[in-house]
Chains A and B, each alone.
Chain A
C-alpha cells in the first residue's frame, strides 16, 4: 500500500514537479488538481470554466500530455510533472504558441486562452494533426464562448512548424 492512503478528513503529502520546480504539497484527497493550482498555490493562469471537463479552460500538461485539471484529484499525481500556462514561456521569450496567439489576435475576453494554448501544446506533442480540419477536430475539447475560433486556428497552424522543429531538436 502506498503512503498516500488517508482516512476521511486527513491530508496527504505529494511531490509534484511544477513548472520545472520540485514541490512538496499537502492536499486533501478531494482537492482537484485545478483547485490545488488556483486556491492553494495561487497559480490562477489555469482557469475554472465549467468544472466538469466540458470546456477545456482548465487544460494543463501532465507528464507532457494535455488533461482537464478539473476532473482529476491532486492526490492521484504524486511524482508527476505538471506544466501550466505559467510554465510555458522562458525568461526571455514567449512560447511560440503565446507569440502566435498575440500575432493572430486569437482571443477576445481571454478566459479560455490559457487552456487553448496548453491544449495546442499538447496537440503539437501528439503530432496527429496538421491540416486545418485536423487541428479543428483535435482542439474540440476547448470551447471559446467569444467565438475567436478562426484566429485560434490560424495561430495554432502558424505555430505548429516551429513547435515540431523544437521537438526534433531535443
Chain B
C-alpha cells in the first residue's frame, strides 16, 4: 500500500471538512483496502468514519426504518426488525460475502463497493473505470460476468452488491451529507449507468458521505424471495440475482417489485414490468411476460449470452417462490 495520512474525526461535519480531492472515507474497509493493496486506488488520506454516530437502527416518523451507515452487514441482516419486516433484505445480505466480511462491511460501504470486473482490478490492462480514456478491456475480452443491460461502449461492468438489489426492490432511500448540505436520494437513482463516465459509479459528489438508508413501511414480508445464481454454492458474486416482492390478495397480485443483480452497472428495475403484474393471477405466464419486459433491449457480449436465459428463468422462479409465500 502507498503511504497515506490517517484521521479519525468524531463528528460528521469534521469528516466532511477534512475531505479533499485525494481523500477516501473508510468504514469497514473490506473493499477499499483490497483495492489499495492492488494499487487500483492510492488515496493520500484516509478519513476513518468509525467514530461517527451512525450505528443506530431507528423507527422513522412514517413507520419505516432508518439504518445508520455504519451498521455492519451482519448486524443489519440479523436485526429482529429486518428479519421480521424486511426478510428480503436479510436474505440478500446473507447471500453475499462471508461471515467474516459481513461482520466488517458497513451498510454505506456496501452501496459504494466497486465492480469485480477483472480488468478493473488488473492495473496492467486498460480500463475506463480505473483510468478514464484508456479503453475497455472487457468489451472484447473475457466478459462472462459482465453486463447485458444498460452498458456502454466505454464500460460493461456490473455492480456487485446483493444488498443493493433488495434495497432497490424495497424502494429504499439514501441519506447523504456533504459540503453543500444534506440530501435524500432514491436508491434506484443512487447508482448510475456507465455512459461515457464509467469512473463514476454513483451520483455522490466529492466529500459527500452516506449517513443512513431509509426503508419505507411496506416490507413485502409475507411474499418475497431473493434468488442468487453463482458459480459455487456459497461465497461468490452473483452471475445473476433476482429480488422479488409481491403484495398478494389470495392468488391475485396487487403490487409487484422486481430488481435484478449481476446484469447491469446498477440494480435493474423496470416499473412497467411490475405494473403489468398488478391484478393478474400469480402464474408462470405473466411472470414470463414480466421477465420479457425486464430484459427488453438486452445486449449480450461474446461470453455472457447465457445470462439472458438464466435471468429469465430466475425471474420466473423468484416470482413463483414469492407468490407461494416467504420461506
Does B103 reach chain A (CB closer than 8 Å)?
yes
The answer on a CB contact under 8 Å between B6 and A12 is yes
The answer on a CB contact under 8 Å between B30 and A8 is no
Does A65 reach chain B (CB closer than 8 Å)?
yes
A64 to B101 alpha-carbon distance, docked (Å): 14
Q: Which residues of A contact B8 (CB under 8 A)?
A: 1-2, 4-5, 76
The answer on a CB contact under 8 Å between B99 and A5 is no
Does A9 reach chain B (CB closer than 8 Å)?
yes
Contact-residue size bin, chain B (C-beta under 8 Å from the other chain): 35 or more
Does A13 reach chain B (CB closer than 8 Å)?
no
A148 to B32 alpha-carbon distance, docked (Å): 32
A59 closest partner in B (C-beta) = B100
The answer on a CB contact under 8 Å between B3 and A30 is yes
The answer on a CB contact under 8 Å between B100 and A66 is yes
Does A163 reach chain B (CB closer than 8 Å)?
no
Does B46 reach chain A (CB closer than 8 Å)?
yes
The answer on a CB contact under 8 Å between B7 and A140 is no
Scan B45-84; emit 1 where CB is below 8 A from any A CB, else 0.
0101011000000000000000000000010001000000
A71 to B4 alpha-carbon distance, docked (Å): 16
The answer on a CB contact under 8 Å between B104 and A71 is yes
Chain B's nearest CB lies how many Å from the CB of A34? 11
The answer on a CB contact under 8 Å between A29 and B51 is no
A102 to B184 alpha-carbon distance, docked (Å): 54
Partner of A67, one of B1, B33, B104: B104
- Given A30-B3, A71-B34, A141–B100 Cβ distance below 8 Å? yes
The answer on a CB contact under 8 Å between A32 and B99 is no
Scan A1-29; emit 1 where CB is below 8 A from any B CB, else 0.
11011111110100000000000000011
Does B14 reach chain A (CB closer than 8 Å)?
yes
Partner of A32, one of B10, B33, B100: B33
The answer on a CB contact under 8 Å between B104 and A126 is no
Does A95 reach chain B (CB closer than 8 Å)?
no
Does B29 reach chain A (CB closer than 8 Å)?
yes
A120 to B234 alpha-carbon distance, docked (Å): 17
The answer on a CB contact under 8 Å between B6 and A9 is no
Q: Which residues of B contact A114 (CB under 8 A)?
A: none
B101 closest partner in A (C-beta) = A53
Chain B's nearest CB lies how many Å from the CB of A29? 4
Q: Which residues of A contact B1 (CB under 8 A)?
A: 30
Q: Which of A9, A67, A72 is the most central at the interface, judged by chain B CB atoms within 10 Å of its CB?
A: A67
Scan B1-34; emit 1 where CB is below 8 A from any A CB, else 0.
1111111111000100000000000101110011
Partner of A52, one of B3, B34, B78: B34
The answer on a CB contact under 8 Å between B30 and A1 is no
Scan A66-78; emit 1 where CB is below 8 A from any B CB, else 0.
1110011101100
Q: Which residues of A contact B141 (CB under 8 A)?
A: none
Partner of B99, one of A1, A8, A52, A123: A123
Does B98 reach chain A (CB closer than 8 Å)?
yes
The answer on a CB contact under 8 Å between B100 and A56 is yes
Q: Which residues of A contact B7 (CB under 8 A)?
A: 1, 5-6
Chain B's nearest CB lies how many Å from the CB of A44? 20
A7 to B4 alpha-carbon distance, docked (Å): 8
Q: Which residues of B contact A9 (CB under 8 A)?
A: 3
Partner of A76, one of B44, B48, B74, B78: B48
Given A56-B98, A72-B29, 9 extra CB contacts under 8 A: A1-B9, A1-B10, A30-B2, A30-B3, A52-B37, A68-B100, A72-B104, A73-B26, A76-B8
Closest 5 CB pairs of A and B: A141-B98, A29-B6, A140-B234, A140-B235, A2-B8
